[in-house]
Amino acid sequence: MSLKNLPAFIVIVAFSGFCPSSWADDINIYFKASPRLELLHPYSDPATLSLLVTSADGKPVAQGRVAIVLEAPAPGRFFSTDFPLVEGSRLLDMSLPLRQGRAEWKYLFPIRGEYRLTVEVTVVDGKKAIKNFPLGIRESKRKWVFLGIFSLALFAVGVIAGRIFTPSRSSSAGLVLLLASLMASLDPAPAQDAERSGQFGWLEIDPATVGKPSGVRWRLSGEAHAEGQPVLLSLMITHLEKSKTVFAVERLPIEKEFAMSFQFADGAEYRVTAIGYVTGGRMLRTERNIAVTGVEPPARAMIPAIGFFLAVLALGLAVGRWSRRAAPA
């Protein structure tokens, strides 16, 4: 290997932990997540997602753009996730410029399952490459432990209720009241429009509803020929209740405006912060608070879980009745 190709070799070795590359003509695409996907859980910590695009000789592509589409996991077979309306929908759709062959952003995965990341690279000479990356996110072990504890508690309640109500005919009525107390309706958060802020940075966000992507746009305004000035944009979306960053990009070179489609996963309040670094050392900060409209989960998401809990409770009732009748007088 000649010393001339040594830097390219070092870059490939540094990205050896990336997912397998995509071969389309002479363009290779590598993907990496930090922390590793095996260590991530829904709403735990944001992951830094990175793309590396190289030519056939291993050198990073100097100029180009990468279109990124992230789709949520498909609905589960039995138990739904924490946000059923998110399942199977599009979460993110944006285009980022390549800087020394790299593109990077932060994202907080909202639910468990296998996501689908579609990457389309377009270089200056018009060549394109497309690659799909499956991203598997596991549920937190703590939630499975809590599910087991709750199921055991329901079983114990059923056993106690079965022993108490066995001598009388009112056991069925007591069971109905007991089951009715387990059902609760969700109170969706109302939509609320936040005021635009900032004199030079224009931040616009479409009304946000759970289950539907919302448009997020930023551009430089307020001065003559402002759109022609070079700007480095940092954009961050924060979940205010959880105090977690759900999306972020750092110092993107912007020509006219930055636009993307982003889905807010739950009916909570978010803060969108945009900081534009303009030539001359000026920093333009724009913020908007967004109250996302929550939507009641569909019946297909609630019925299996309710049926499972009712089955556990009914099993406890049966065991309680049997133990009561089998006990000696």
pLDDT at 235 over 70: yes
265, burial (CB in 10 Å: exposed 0-12, middle 13-18, buried 19+): buried
Architecture of domain 3-137: Sandwich (2.60)
Residue with tokens 């432990």: 145
Tell me the domain boundaries of the chain.
Answer: 3-137, 141-183+297-326, 201-291
pLDDT at 237 over 80: yes
CB contact at 8 A, 157 and 246: no
CA–CA separation, 266 vs 268, rounded Å? Answer: 6
Collect all residues with Cβ–Cβ distance below 8 Å to 5 and sequence separation of at least 6.
57, 58
Predicted confidence (pLDDT) per residue in 102-113, tens digit: 999 999 999 989
Radius of gyration of the chain (CA): 26
- pLDDT, the chain, mean: 76
Single-letter residue type at 200: F
CA–CA separation, 192 vs 271, rounded Å? Answer: 13
pTM recorded for the entire structure = 0.69
Q: What CATH class has 201-291?
A: mainly beta
Neighbours of 173 (CB within 10 A): 11
Choice between 77 and 282, residue whose per-residue pLDDT is larger:
282
Rounded to the nearest 5 degrees, what angle is found at the Cα of 221, between the Cα atoms of 218 and 223? 160
Least confident of 28-32, 148-152, 243-247, 285-289: 148-152
Same fold, 3-137 and 201-291: yes
Average pLDDT of span 196-225: 77
pLDDT score at 184 = 34
